[in-house]
Chain A
Amino acid sequence: MATMSTARERVKDEAKFTAGLRNRHLRGQIWMRFFQAAILLGLLALITLMFNVVNRVYGLTAVRDAVPVSTFSDRPLEELNASELAGILVAQLPSGGRVLVRDSLIGQENYNNNREAPLSQLIQGVTLPDDVGALTLAQLQPENTQVIFENAFTPEDMRLTIITDIVGREVLESWTWSESLFNRAAIDEKVASTADWEGAQLEWRSWLNFSFLTSRMTTVASESGVRAALLGSLLTIFLTVVVAFPLGVGTAIYLQEYSTGDHWFERLIETNIRNLAGVPSIIYGLLGLAIFVRALEGITQGRTIISAALTMALLILPVIIINAQEALRAVPPSIREASFGLGATKWQTVFRSVLPAAMPGILTGTILGMSRAIGETAPLIVIGASTFIANDPTLASRFTVLPIQIYNWTKDPREGFSEIAAATIVLLLIVLLLFNATAIILRQRFRRSLSA
């Protein structure tokens, strides 16, 4: 009994309690700071990440032209018309541009096999004047070559060729926006004093600009564009959604509206989807490589956008299904009951009552899936996206996409490529933003029409 009362006294001990309470509160304060710090660190990470990218998109760049434009043209290239540009190519390129005709229009191998054939036979897809078409490559005069260039190339192409092959433009170094602002003196000093930077020009440059979106890839960072990758991404995503949306929504409808969950196969589908959602994306790449690229090569033509889109469709299928299921689940059962109560069949109920009510949720889920697909890189590396694609992609051509370009350019040690990787990241994030904004607008519009 004596110990009993000491235990009781211990609990009631006022002095100890008051002293302890201060410590308890202090400990709570410290931990609260830690919790706060955790979320602030998350925020800080996001800000740093964004700043780190944007910081590289705009800044000072040192560029050098081996043969400045002024040595062969008194006006800037942008102001010249097609025939003037063609004239420069003919005048400045080795052997009067014949090498360019051979390499980019005829093809080396083709030429070696048919040296004596007239050009009209050798050059496909370009209409040449009859007199020029009748000549062989060896017979070409400078004025003929100029005509060929005018007909075969766009002014944009010719300008790029001039810059890469004649001018020999080279990005020596580029600085981030913050460096350019706060470290200007050191940069100027470096440009002036570096021995083999003779003739370098320092200029402010935004790596993300309109011509970056519209021009093709080249070997010079400052002239390179992301057009093929942007088109590749859009095509891939389009085809992905076309395949994944009906399959995903169909599965969700089956699981939510038809399945009772009693049959083993229905449970298998359900569990299977949860498991698929956790499979690393690179595994889907291996699947796509073995099935779509290799086994189904006859249909997909190998490493093409079709293969990529089919792989991506499988990848985002679980996302779409799970979100669509959730949206269907949220439709109040009374809507179904009311429809059945009016004598509608199962399919009529699903298609005309339940599905429209669930549509905003389903679309939101689909856009989530699209956001996932447009940023996904690993599976496309595995199925073999290309590193260098100059021409606009088609469904059955080799291709590249935005994240692949980010990956390639990030790895590229040459000056300027890290900057165009950053520009591509900004572009990708803008596309993602557009997706999500669409999702929000869609949702709101649907909500309005629902409540009206």
Chain B
Amino acid sequence: MTSMTLGSGATAIDLKHVKVFYSDKLAVDDVSIPIYKNKITAFIGPSGCGKSTVLRAINRMNDLIPGARVEGEINYHGKNLYGKEVDPVEVRRRIGMVFQKPNPFPKSIYDNVAYGPRLLGVTDKRTLDEIVERSIKGSFLWDEVKGDLKKSGLALSGGQQQRLCIARTIAIEPDVILMDEPCSALDPIATQAIEELMKELVKSYTIVIVTHNMQQAQRVSDFTAFYSIRKAEETGGQERRWGVLGEFAPTEQLFSNPKSEETERYIRGEFG
């Protein structure tokens, strides 16, 4: 599958034959998908199929896990992110990440958002103020916290914390935002807020989201990648499991007219 067959504009990132290993154990086998610019791509699939693993491979977060290894190519602006001369710090500065559990720093709201810009060398108070304000506004949190930016980020509610984490991410103006189940710890109202936010953000950013919520994928995403699990008996009776890409298509098409039976069963909720 290439961008040509789907014909939906420019790709931001191109995954080619990506395999991920954890200490020589294959976790995900041979994933090739495009991530389209200014679109939301959703990753769905049963638990343990490697959605997070692929997502983390995209901004080289897996480098932090001892023994983790990525094969294949992930091309970004025509450059392989796993090329020799590529600096993971630079990758992460352009491809930001929002995590499943909100993880604000134990610092003030202001310092949380200013963290990234400060790393980039912005020291001027006025500039920082602007960036913080714009980022918090951008994540629709401003009205709730504008009075007290000195308050600890940990003192916010779960949904607010997650929006703070999104604000923190957009403060460094990344190209792509990766979100790993950003709503799984949130109630429906907070989830809705984040979903609205994503639809807003996608105008200026490219978004990849992992979700277990089929409705959410349908509601927000433009493209969906379905991953599934393959199993094999190993000598000694042990089972080996790894994830593979099941299907990738525009969301509407994938949900209304899945090509494979496995996908269909999954989206009908028969396993997973």
Q: Give the interface of A toward B (CB within 8 A).
A: 3-4, 6-8, 10-12, 16-17, 20-21, 24-25
> Shortest 7 CB-CB distances between A and B: which pairs?
A7-B130, A7-B127, A20-B121, A11-B173, A12-B173, A7-B131, A11-B117
Nearest CB on A from B157, distance (A): 28
Known: A11-B122, A11-B171, A20-B120. 18 other contacts (CB 8 A): A3-B126, A4-B130, A4-B134, A6-B127, A7-B127, A7-B130, A7-B131, A8-B131, A8-B134, A8-B173, A10-B122, A11-B172, A11-B173, A17-B90, A17-B120, A17-B121, A24-B119, A25-B89
B167-183 interface code vs A (CB 8 A; 1 in, 0 out):
00001110000000000
Give every chain B residue within 8 A of A10 (Cβ-Cβ). Answer: 122, 127
B109-133 interface code vs A (CB 8 A; 1 in, 0 out):
0000000010111100011001100
B16 at the interface (CB under 8 A from A): no
Give every chain B residue within 8 A of A8 (Cβ-Cβ). Answer: 131, 134, 173
B87 at the interface (CB under 8 A from A): yes
Give every chain B residue within 8 A of A3 (Cβ-Cβ). Answer: 126, 130
* Residue among A8, A11, A12, A20 with most chain B CB within 10 A: A11
Q: Do B127 and A17 have beta carbons less than 8 Å apart? A: no
Q: Do B117 and A21 have beta carbons less than 8 Å apart? A: no
Interface residues of B in 39-65 (CB under 8 A from A): none
Q: Give the interface of B toward A (CB within 8 A).
A: 87, 89-90, 93, 117, 119-122, 126-127, 130-131, 134, 171-173
Docked Cα-Cα span, A6 to B126, in Å, equals 11
Give every chain B residue within 8 A of A17 (Cβ-Cβ). Answer: 90, 93, 120-121
Give every chain A residue within 8 A of B127 (Cβ-Cβ). Answer: 6-7, 10
Docked Cα-Cα span, A17 to B94, in Å, equals 11
Select from chain A the residue with minimum beta-carbon distance to B89. Answer: A21
Nearest CB on A from B168, distance (A): 13
Give every chain A residue within 8 A of B120 (Cβ-Cβ). Answer: 11, 16-17, 20
Select from chain A the residue with minimum beta-carbon distance to B116. Answer: A11
- Which residue of the partner chain, among A6, A16, A25, contacts B121 with CB atoms under 8 Å? A16
Give every chain B residue within 8 A of A21 (Cβ-Cβ). Answer: 87, 89-90
Nearest CB on A from B150, distance (A): 21
Select from chain B the residue with minimum beta-carbon distance to A17. Answer: B120
